[in-house]
Amino acid sequence: MTGKGFDAVEVRRPDLRKPFPRGFRRRLTGQTVLALTRRAKYLLATLSSTDTLLIHLGMSGSFRIDHAEVDPHDHVVFRMSSGATIAYNDPRRFGVMDLLSPAAFAKHPILSRLGPEPLSTAFDAFALARACRGKKTSLKAALLDQRVVAGLGNIYVSEALHRAGLSPRRRASTIATQAGAPREHAHRLTSAIKHVLREAIARTSNPASYRSGRFRVYDREGEPCRRARCGGVIRRQTQSGRSTFYCPICQR
């Protein structure tokens, strides 16, 4: 899409998770994509009109390029100046597409409050400790808070906490001093977060590797802990409405 224009836009239903913005098709047609970037779980296409096309894939959204077959779940189709056809497919319709002016982008209720990207240099033990200072919530809930760190999801929070040897039930404030300086736990945790995300990205060439067999704790309830010489058994509990998997022996 980068450097290409929208020759035509087909919108095959009035909404996804929420209605498409007024004039969505008209405002996109004829515009060129100057840059395609990401912020947390949002895809951002900067347009020649100065608007930003914001896309969230939700639970089941995906794009197909030059997808010839007609699929009832292809809700938006972009026909690009390069000749490529890009279809947005979303069976559960939890995705979102929006068009934001520069002013609306700057004041976006979610984007404007996001924390640092987990793989950026801005995210380190000091940043994490400052964000968790004084927090009475659990460490698991804090890491899922997009204001603490952007784009970190449920699976990789469980994976990172296990790699760091920290309990998901631990109070978030315990990784920081009262002044907000990082304790040793914060250093371990930021290192673990970056490790599990880089490992996951490296596996993208093989979709089958995303099965639970590739995870240390996620979806492994009742199985032996994979940490050497631990001897624990993985448990599952619900936190903030999400399943948490952890080892009660090596995660403290």
Q: Which of 91, 113, 135 is the last residue of a domain?
A: 113
Band of the pLDDT at 48, cuts 50, 70, 90? very high
**What per-residue confidence (pLDDT) applies to 194?**
98
Dig out the tokens for 113 from the structure: 């409050």
**What per-residue confidence (pLDDT) applies to 210?**
52
More confident site: 132 or 203: 132
**What per-residue confidence (pLDDT) applies to 207?**
59
User: Shortest CA distance to 200 belongs to which of 151, 142, 249?
Assistant: 151
Residue 72 DSSP code: T
**What per-residue confidence (pLDDT) applies to 202?**
87
Are residues 108 and 185 located together in one domain of the fold?
A: no
State how far the Cα of 197 lies from the Cα of 40, in Å rounded to an integer.
Answer: 13
Residues 6+ apart with CB under 8 A from 187: 125
pLDDT at 205 over 90: no
**What per-residue confidence (pLDDT) applies to 209?**
55
Q: Which of 76, 93, 113 is the last residue of a domain?
A: 113
Are residues 62 and 129 located together in one domain of the fold?
A: no
Residues 6+ apart with CB under 8 A from 198: 119
pLDDT at 68 over 90: no
Angle 202-163-184 from CA coordinates, rounded to 5°: 120
State how far the Cα of 97 lies from the Cα of 196, in Å rounded to an integer.
Answer: 29
Residue type, position 21, single letter:
P
What's the number of domains the chain is made of?
2
**What per-residue confidence (pLDDT) applies to 203?**
83
Mean of pLDDT values over 98-113? 96
Domain assignment present for 119: no
Are residues 47 and 23 located together in one domain of the fold?
A: yes
DSSP string, 220-235: -TTSBP-STT---B-E
User: 227 burial class (0-12, 13-18, 19+ CB within 10 angstroms)?
Assistant: middle
DSSP string, 112-136: GG----TTSTT-SHHHHHHHHTT--
Are residues 154 and 185 located together in one domain of the fold?
A: yes
Mean of pLDDT values over 93-98? 97
Domain assignment present for 184: yes
Q: What is the pTM of this model?
A: 0.84
**What per-residue confidence (pLDDT) applies to 161?**
98
State how far the Cα of 96 lies from the Cα of 53, in Å rounded to an integer.
Answer: 10
Band of the pLDDT at 186, cuts 50, 70, 90? very high
User: Would you say 87 and 74 are in contact if contact means Cβ atoms under 8 Å apart?
Assistant: yes
pLDDT at 211 over 70: no
Q: Which CATH number is 15's domain given? A: 3.20.190.10
pLDDT at 213 over 60: no
User: Shortest CA distance to 130 belongs to which of 182, 84, 72?
Assistant: 182
Are residues 87 and 190 located together in one domain of the fold?
A: no
Min mean pLDDT across 19-23, 52-56, 186-190, 213-217 is at 213-217
Are residues 104 and 160 located together in one domain of the fold?
A: no
User: Would you say 53 and 28 are in contact if contact means Cβ atoms under 8 Å apart?
Assistant: yes
Are residues 100 and 170 located together in one domain of the fold?
A: no
Are residues 136 and 101 located together in one domain of the fold?
A: no
**What per-residue confidence (pLDDT) applies to 66?**
83
Are residues 155 and 130 located together in one domain of the fold?
A: yes
State how far the Cα of 45 lies from the Cα of 38, in Å rounded to an integer.
Answer: 9
| Average pLDDT value for the chain | 94
Domain assignment present for 34: yes
Are residues 12 and 58 located together in one domain of the fold?
A: yes
Dig out the tokens for 245 from the structure: 């998997």
Q: Which CATH number is 235's domain given? A: 1.10.8.50
Domain assignment present for 99: yes
Q: Which of 113, 144, 173 is the last residue of a domain?
A: 113
Band of the pLDDT at 67, cuts 50, 70, 90? low
For 6-34, write each residue's pLDDT tens digit.
999 999 999 999 999 999 999 999 999 99
Mean of pLDDT values over 46-74? 92
How many C-beta neighbours within 10 Å does residue 92 have? 12
Mean of pLDDT values over 143-159? 95
User: 106 burial class (0-12, 13-18, 19+ CB within 10 angstroms)?
Assistant: exposed
Domain assignment present for 242: yes
Show the domain range for 163: 125-246
**What per-residue confidence (pLDDT) applies to 214?**
80
Are residues 89 and 157 located together in one domain of the fold?
A: no
Mean of pLDDT values over 93-117? 96
